[in-house]
Chain A
């Protein structure tokens, strides 16, 4: 552990610990240093104060509103750090005058002599005072069980220093101002390791330099918050895992209902309400899927997706299903999509960050309708993959082309590797396959194909001859469909890889 700083304590730090923690503080500049505490009984004593002193008024120097006004003026003349005074003396106009003179005024309820003695001790041993503050903060942090609570304590304690908890560039708690780069602000980061030793999150604080708190101190306070955050993180992950499992099971049950004898009469089971789900009216499903499916996503990702998808729509479900997530929106009016459009727009950044595509189904009534909409959304999501991360595809706009999106292009390409060995070994295979596809798409018309490819008709002819030579016998009726599909799959796959 680093040695704590012995720099003079600042006003902002003093105001966070007893005896000033409970006082009414009007701090003009919390970053002002306090080098000495003076208990001033007389105005003569006030006049002898040196800059950066904190003065506690007492006796003759605290006899009424006028004495505080005169003391504030003297403090301003002497460039003192702050004036501390009993509540009986300070009225609203004194606070106004302090603000006008840009002088810090602290109003106390305790005995001024005792306060001055305690302050003197704190000022003479700044390291001890800081340790006291850290201890107090540790107590407060220990009381927090949630991520928001922990960040709330940090942000309250480190006034003027915004703190945020960040996972992969996304702020999941605290003040996002911590991430904005500004002049005279130093960003410090503390890693928060999730259980399992992988670095899951960072605590980021933007410390103004010069400011009320030193960089080292903020860092040690952030480190202090780390265990609480880890606990809160683990707790919430535990909760989320439970909930996700619960939702998954419930959705499976729901899925089985329509296959009952008469699907149209399926009643919505009561347990869906326990999960906060709405089923029964017009249901429009949304499928969130990774651009490159790679098996079941890890629970951390599910947690993050849930956090950003459910921002503002806590009742919308999110069920992990296969390599993606299902959600749906239920409403009385099937054509009402404003809320959904808004949610999709808000989710776009997260979708791009996590490389997701989104498919939206049509609105159908009832549980059976929901399942149908889910299937549509899934189909639409497959189509959306062609557009890259963040793409949204509505099933209404897909049509029969959706069938193509279902083609397992990777597997088909593997078929090509085995059956068209010569073609796959050719350097110009992409141009050849593309040309064959264009000709087949154009119903055999060479001129249309050459137009679509933007090459001369003779070039098309030459490529077709070479393709046929390499095994792509597209003009044999028995093989045309297979080769058409093969060409489509290869072109899609190669254009995807080159796009990446």
Chain B
């Protein structure tokens, strides 16, 4: 990517220097994910970019509409990937399988989700295949299932898709109905090694112009640079707001962790189901933050003020970094950050798929009231 640090706007290529920023930005959009395989994946990608040269990053409109494109992502658990690291060719193999099946040669790669490690493996794949990367993705953040994408909402089928495990085994799935693909894949992920490289949503650039979310790859790079650049929480929140539209509804101190399985036991890192935060300053409200695999809702004095598909993250004020959900303890001072998701997720179909109802909270989203 060109330009000085803090540059905001679409980039034209990704170099080895951009990798740390890309990683940080990808983490911002998936706050629940830990740092288990940070060094292995970033050094792998940086080495690839050094050897093969920068990966061109193109806007979807900058690619001929008939260009075949395919998305990639990591399927399964991040910790499994740390235990059983990739051999290196899994993503390339997955793409090649679909190329063989469809008898096409993909002219561009795009991330299924421009967040988590999936954002980085898309760059890896593009570098390995020596094709450009599209500055677009299917989620604009992370969601749980592979059909939670803008492409699925636009009628693009995720199949045929190929999943290649670290053992070299692969699964090829073709289903007429998108949601079925996820169920078939989940059943196989454990068998192939706990995680798998996924290549899915083979389509053309012309379709992606209307079906994908644009600008999301350069956005995570920009967000990442801000996160690396600044540790002053107030400055950081203001700058993030300019890029992501995020706002800070409250700052407060964690007073209670409510666990699903072990009430009040804070010494064992379990996944808490609920956080209670006392707002500092302002109205002194009591915030209740509901956690599932991510933060799905924020209540202030019992009134819902943010909820999925909003991206809700916690900023550790004392350290000026994003707090991961397994590191929270009573007494921590946190900023609650709410970043709006891409507009498509607030449509009725989007809400039905990834809204709070899907997390068991049958309340109307604050944006819809």
Contact = CB atoms under 8 A, between A and B. Distances in A.
Interface stretch (B23-31, B34-42, B90-98, B355-363): B355-363
A66 B255 CA distance: 15
A64 B361 CA distance: 10
Interface string A32-75: 00000000001100000000000000001001111001111110
Nearest to B284: A100
Nearest to A91: B258
A96 B297 contact: no
Contacts of A66: 274, 288, 290, 297, 299, 361
B256 A101 contact: no
A42 B256 contact: no
B256 A70 contact: no
A70 B305 CA distance: 11
A96 B288 CA distance: 12
Contacts of A63: 360
A66 B306 CA distance: 13
A263 B296 CA distance: 94
B273 interface: yes
A66 B290 CA distance: 7
A70 B274 contact: no
Contact of A70 (B263, B273, B276, B302): B302
Interface residues of B, number: 20
Interface string B282-300: 0000101010000001010
Nearest to A70: B302
Interface size class of A (residues with CB under 8 A): 20 to 34
Contact of B362 (A60, A65, A74): A60
Contacts of B304: 70
A60 B363 CA distance: 11
Nearest to B303: A73
A180 interface: no
A64 B274 contact: yes
B232 interface: no
B286 A91 contact: no
B302 A73 contact: yes
A142 interface: no
A493 interface: no
Contacts of A76: 302
A478 interface: no
A69 B299 contact: yes
Contacts of B288: 65-66, 69, 93, 97
Contacts of A73: 299, 301-303
A78 B282 CA distance: 24
Interface in B258-282: 258, 263, 273-274, 276
Given A69-B299, A69-B302, A73-B303, A93 B363 contact: no
A74 B256 CA distance: 23
B273 to A, nearest CB: 7
A36 B301 CA distance: 25
B302 A101 contact: yes
Contacts of A183: none
Contacts of B299: 66, 69-70, 73
Interface in B288-334: 288, 290, 297, 299, 301-304
Given A60-B362, A73-B301, A76-B302, A100 B258 contact: no
Given A69-B299, A73-B301, A76-B302, A93 B256 contact: yes
Contacts of A91: 256, 258, 263
Interface in B337-369: 360-363
A225 B332 CA distance: 55
A76 B301 CA distance: 10
A433 to B, nearest CB: 81
A73 B361 CA distance: 15
A72 B302 contact: yes
A120 to B, nearest CB: 25
A268 B297 CA distance: 82
A69 B258 CA distance: 13
Contacts of A74: 302
B302 A43 contact: no
Nearest to A97: B286
A93 B255 contact: yes
A97 B301 CA distance: 6
A93 B302 contact: no
Contacts of B297: 66
A92 interface: yes
Nearest to A66: B290
Contacts of B273: 64-65
B217 to A, nearest CB: 34
Q: Which of A64, A66, A72, A96 has the most CB of B within 10 A?
A: A66
Contacts of B301: 69, 73, 97, 100-101
Q: Which of A60, A65, A73, A76 has the most CB of B within 10 A?
A: A65
A265 to B, nearest CB: 73
A93 to B, nearest CB: 4
Nearest to A74: B302
Nearest to B263: A91
A63 B273 CA distance: 12
A496 B362 CA distance: 87
Interface of B: 255-256, 258, 263, 273-274, 276, 286, 288, 290, 297, 299, 301-304, 360-363
18 contacts: A64-B274, A65-B288, A66-B274, A66-B290, A69-B286, A70-B302, A70-B363, A73-B299, A73-B302, A92-B256, A93-B255, A93-B286, A97-B288, A97-B301, A97-B302, A100-B286, A100-B301, A101-B302
Given A66-B297, A97-B302, 11 more contacts: A66-B290, A66-B361, A69-B286, A70-B304, A73-B301, A73-B302, A91-B258, A91-B263, A93-B256, A93-B288, A100-B286
List the 8 closest pairs (A to B, CB-CB), nearest first. Answer: A73-B302, A69-B302, A93-B276, A65-B274, A72-B302, A69-B288, A66-B290, A73-B303
